[in-house]
Amino acid sequence: MKTPILLIWMIALNTVVSAQPVSPISSATDAYAQALNAVVNDWGMVDYRALKSNPQALNTYLDYAATLPQSAFDQWPETDQIAFWINVYNSLTLKAIIDHYPIKPSFFRSFTYPQNSIRQISGVWKKLKFTVLNRPITLKHIEHKILRAQFNEPRIHMALVCAAKGCPPLRNEPYSGATLSDQFNDQTARFLNSRDKFKIDRKENIVYLSPIFKWYGKDFVKTYAPAENTGKLNKTLSAVFNGITPHVDGLFRPYLYRGNFKVKYLKYDWSLNEQ
């Protein structure tokens, strides 16, 4: 019995399609997603012991980020570039932790920071160098010289995770240019839903903020500053609250939009975001 010509053609086409190589971008991102999904829980806490014992998926993504040509990266839309640098920052932070895990506390640093803190790793932001886009780079450079300097996107501060409980929660999925705005909005809402990072004392008329908004509040001005300052707030705080209030419980929004309250900053928790 002869095989019909149409069937032969369909088998051949399927063979060609299935033989096509997977995009390095998609395969690397899938590997990073696998790593995050395996060790990050719904609260953004990380099982560093498990990640250290099985780092292959994370390393696959880091190898991709290390060898990606700058010329290819430059062709991407801005949202994809921002998502890439957030993913790189967060993945390299995971790498820094597992390379030093369990963290050995410094005698002198332990007077100021928890013993299981990223702050116990000497030079973790300024001196440790990683390879990204075929060049050596530090975490500090990624945050301050690339993400903050080259992109007008203050919501990055709801996404960058420095392995501390005071940080925003680490998502158990990579950031993507296609869904970046939705991910930022979700991150902001999750961050503000934690009383360790945001709370309102109506009796004392005080709003408590994470110190992240003190350190980086000026980044919100260009995008979120209203034409006139809000209530008693200065320009920077007016911009901060204009940016974050839409993500707060609707019952509190009128109070926050009036701006007639004092602002104080909560203590930052530098304890390791470990399960």
Nearest to 82 by CA among 163, 161, 31, 154: 154
Could you read off the pLDDT of 168-182 as tens digits, one per residue?
999 999 999 999 999
pTM of the model: 0.91
Could you read off the pLDDT of 2-34 as tens digits, one per residue?
445 544 444 443 443 334 444 667 899 999 999
pLDDT of residue 213 exceeding 90: yes
- The pLDDT assigned to 166 comes to 98
Could you read off the pLDDT of 249-263 as tens digits, one per residue?
999 999 999 999 999
* Spatial distance between the Cα atoms of 273 and 270, rounded to a whole number of angstroms: 8
pLDDT of residue 212 exceeding 70: yes
Could you read off the pLDDT of 58-101 as tens digits, one per residue?
999 999 999 999 999 999 999 999 999 999 999 999 999 999 99
Kindly provide the residue ranges of all beta strands, DSSP E only, lying in the chain, ordered along the sequence: 130-132, 135-137, 198-201, 206-209, 262-265
Nearest to 76 by CA among 176, 161, 212, 144: 176
- The pLDDT assigned to 24 comes to 66
- The pLDDT assigned to 18 comes to 39
Q: Are 240 and 226 within 8 A, CB to CB?
A: no
Q: What are phi and psi of 271, to 5 degrees?
A: -60, 145
Q: Name the pLDDT band for 240 (thresholds 50, 70, 90).
A: very high
- The pLDDT assigned to 26 comes to 84
* Spatial distance between the Cα atoms of 18 and 14, rounded to a whole number of angstroms: 6
Could you read off the pLDDT of 90-138 as tens digits, one per residue?
999 999 999 999 999 999 999 999 999 999 999 999 999 999 999 999 9
**Torsion (CA) 49, 53, 58, 64 in degrees, nearest 10:** 150
